[in-house]
Structure 1
Amino acid sequence: MIQRIQTVYLLLSALLMGSLFFFPFAQIETETNEVYSFTYRGLTNTDGETIIPTLALAILLTVATFVSFISIFVYKKRVLQIRLCGLNMALLLGSTGMIYFLGTQLIDDLTGVLNYKITTAFPVIAMILTFLALRAVAKDIALLKSMDRIR
């Protein structure tokens, strides 16, 4: 299982998505010098209290992380693995869009400056890694079909 390159890609993708639960996406500094963090739970203040919850984003990130882990362990069913990778890419694209959308909505609610962190790019990087895994699985399928023709 770990010998295949798509497993490494999917594991890195899952680790990147899992790290989003520990680091903030952005920081908002208001005109009154208050600092808020935009995390997977929503907008939190410096005390750690969630002011504006974002349950949909938390669910989307959780599902995307679990789909990455599940697709690692279905390595014997390559067609299912390709479908899960496609689903995961759609979830990652949706989470990227939702992070941007919620960030712009939060900055509209609070007048201030929105500073995105490097963790905002993690879903995009995970999507690229998932695409590479999808291509590697497709290569495995093509290789197995060519071996069947030789027999």
Structure 2
Amino acid sequence: MIQRIQTVYLLLVAALLTITIFIPVGSFIDTNGLTYPFTPLNITLPSAGLNYTPWGQLAILILAAMIAFATIFLFKNRKLQMRMCVFNSLIIAGYYLVYLMFILMTKGSSNVSFQFSFGLCLPVISLILTYLAFRSIRKDDAMVKAADRIR
């Protein structure tokens, strides 16, 4: 299990998504030039009266990290492992849709500008690593099928 490369990929996916929860994924800049960091854990924007947790984004990141970690232990069922990788990729893509919707709604309700941060790149890296894990699992499955044909 640990010696397979897809295990390393999926562990990195889980770690990157967990890190994304805690670091800023952007900043709101109000008309006075004050910067307010935006993390999936908390957003504070006094000019618009916002001070809450964007639960949708937080839930999606936690779910995607848990699925990536749980997928590691499905090594005996490669078909299910590949399906879980595809499902996790869809969840990560959904994170960006929720993120974009939240930014557009927040900018529309207040007079602030938004600046993207490096933390927004980590789910994209996770998406790429999930694809690499999917490819490695598919390659393992093909190798097992070839060995079964030889027997």
Moved more, 37-46 or 53-62: 37-46
Contact 1:9-1:132 within 8 A present in 2 as well: yes
- Verify: 1:35 aligned to 2:35, yes or no: yes
- CA gap of 1:104–1:25, structure 2 versus 1, over 3 A, is same
Distance 2:124 2:140 in 1: 25
1:97 to partner: Cα distance: 1.8
Distance 2:110 2:34 in 1: 10
Contact 1:42-1:51 within 8 A present in 2 as well: yes
Distance 2:44 2:26 in 1: 11
1:58 to partner: Cα distance: 1.1
TM-score, normalised to structure 1's length?
A: 0.90
State the 4+ residue runs in structure 1 displaced beyond 4 angstroms: none
Q: Secondary structure at the match of 2:56?
A: helix
TM-score, normalised to structure 2's length?
A: 0.90
Contact 1:35-1:45 within 8 A present in 2 as well: no
Percent of paired sites with the same residue: 34
Distance 1:44 1:80 in 2: 41
Q: Secondary structure at the match of 1:111?
A: coil
Is there any run of 5+ residues in structure 2 with no aligned partner, and where? none
Q: Secondary structure at the match of 2:22?
A: coil
Q: CA RMSD of the aligned region, Å?
A: 1.6
Q: Tell me the amino acid that sits aligned with residue 13 of structure 1.
A: V
1:79 to partner: Cα distance: 1.1
Distance 1:10 1:41 in 2: 23
- Verify: 1:140 aligned to 2:103, yes or no: no
- Verify: 1:70 aligned to 2:56, yes or no: no
Distance 2:66 2:53 in 1: 22
In structure 2, what is the equivalent of residue 101 of structure 1? 101
